[in-house]
Amino acid sequence: MDGKFYIGYTKNLRGRLLQHESGQVTSTKNRRSLELVYFEAGLSKEKALQREKYFKSGFGRRYLKNRI
């Protein structure tokens, strides 16, 4: 682990984790092994994408750092 966060949206968390672990995701293929440390479930794709955008901001990264 490199101490960095990967932040992303998916409809299938288990499938996405498998893609990351098998090196199929360009942004994380050289950063394995990975550990899931936080996730949120939601009912709306639009709200999930808004939340993803927030987590990628300075305020959102600070929120995650304090939460984890």
Contact 4, 32 (CB under 8 A): no
Neighbour tally for 20: CB within 10 Å: 20
Contact 7, 53 (CB under 8 A): no
Per-residue model confidence (pLDDT) at position 68:
87
Question: Is pLDDT above 70 for 15?
Answer: yes
The pair of three-digit structure tokens given for residue 38, joined into one six-digit string: 């936080």
Q: Is the dihedral of CA 65, 58, 31, 3 positive or negative?
A: negative
Distance CA 68, CA 66 (A): 6
- What does pTM read for this prediction? 0.80
Q: Residue 2 — very low, low, confident or very high, per pLDDT cuts 50/70/90?
A: confident
pLDDT tens digits along 24-51: 999 999 988 889 999 999 999 999 999 9
